[in-house]
Amino acid sequence: MALFNYLLLFFLFLVCNCTAEHLGEFCNKDKNISSDSPKSANIDHLLADLVSKTSSNGFTATSYGVGEDRVYGLAQCRGDVSKKDCSSCIQDAAKQIRQLCPNQADARIWFDYCFLRYDIQNFIGEVDTAFGIFYWNVENVTDPETFDKDLGALMDQVREQALVPKNGGLGKGKTKLTPFVTLYALVQCTRDLSQLPCAQCLAIAVGNFPVFCEHRKGCRVLYSSCYVRYELYPFFFPQDSSNSTGSSGKYLRAVMHP
């Protein structure tokens, strides 16, 4: 299977409520730059732009500089997140990405509430699933067959929502598995993508569920073009007031790299 041609870079065990911590980063080591280069100065300007512009509507795709030193950037918050949370997430992202990838002209950082990236190549509007981060709950569901059916139906529903232009690439929903157990799902494409690349990104993410997430109680797939997540507890806004059992648990992480 083509999936297994990917190199699994590393695994990490963690127990957390990781909303505030970053979920991962990608520093492209094939695009090294020195920290006193014009490109690096342009990245600093770009990041300031992204921070100031993104909180108002949750999304910015822009560029800074001219000629070969021009840098392209994108910042986006998850569509259900408040302006306040969005703003603080983008600020953290802009700060941390420079600490994590100080010498790269292509860098990306993922949080639950936001995503930020920049590159010297123009990537705006293009689907990119080359680098992916997976998180999954170590616990398995008790009734895999029914679960797969219900998850599949919910995923179809939220993916369809994400493709409706007015939804800004966001789809979210829930379904009751039993009177006491509810499944929650959210998908989000970056807003520079049109319907087709958004649909492609979501299809690849869901198609890769079996690699790490088969029958798991929760799963997140983080790509540069989309975010896909399901859990057996409420995790998106407006927050569901129903029982939130299992909101903390053990998650494993793996990174997929071509």
Ligand X SMILES: *[C@@H]1O[C@H](CO)[C@@H](O)[C@H](O)[C@H]1NC(C)=O
Q: Give the tokens for residue 19.
A: 């909303």
Beta bridge partners of 104: 32
| Residue 108 CB-density burial (10 A; 0-12 exposed, 13-18 middle, 19+ buried) | buried
**CB-count burial class (<10 Å; 0-12, 13-18, 19+) for 11:** exposed
Q: What is the 3-state secondary structure (H, E, C) of 55-70?
A: HHHCEEEEEECCHHHC
Query: Closer to ligand X at the Cβ: 139 or 160?
Result: 139
Question: Nearest distance from residue 136's CB to ligand X, in Å?
Answer: 10
User: Of the candidates 19, 32, 52, 146, which one interacts with ligand X according to CB under 6 A?
Assistant: 32
Residue 156 C-beta: closest distance to ligand X, Å: 25
The CB-of-214 to ligand X minimum distance in angstroms stands at 7
**CB neighbours of 114 closer than 8 A, spacing ≥ 6?**
54, 75, 76, 77, 78, 81, 86, 89, 90, 93
Query: Binder to ligand X among 243, 247, 248, 257 (CB under 6 A)?
Result: 243
Task: Decide whether 5 or 241 has the Cβ nearer to ligand X.
Answer: 241
Rounded-to-integer distance, Cα 129 and Cα 127, Å: 7
User: Where does this chain touch ligand X (CB under 6 A) — which range of 24-32, 57-65, 66-74, 88-96?
Assistant: 24-32
Task: Please say which residue, 154 or 201, places its beta carbon nearer to ligand X.
Answer: 154
Interacting residue with ligand X among 28, 88, 103, 167 (CB under 6 A): 103
**Stretch near ligand X under the rule CB under 6 A, chosen from 41-49, 138-146, 195-203, 224-232:** 138-146
The H-or-E segment that residue 194 falls in is none
Cα–Cα distance, 86 to 54 (Å, whole number): 8
Contact characters 168-207, ligand X, x per CB under 6 A: ------------x---------------------------
Among 12, 130, 138, 164, binds ligand X (CB under 6 A): 138
Q: Which of 80, 139, 148, 150 binds ligand X (CB under 6 A)?
A: 139
Site for ligand X in 35-94 (CB under 6 A): none
In angstroms, give the least distance from the CB of 239 to ligand X.
13
Q: Please state the closest distance from residue 244 (CB atom) to ligand X, in A.
A: 9
Residues 6+ apart with CB under 8 A from 74: 50, 60, 61, 62, 115, 116, 117, 118, 123, 124, 190, 192
Helix (H) or strand (E) holding 187: strand 181-189
Q: Which residues make up the interface to ligand X (CB under 6 A)?
A: 29-30, 32, 103, 138-140, 180, 242-243
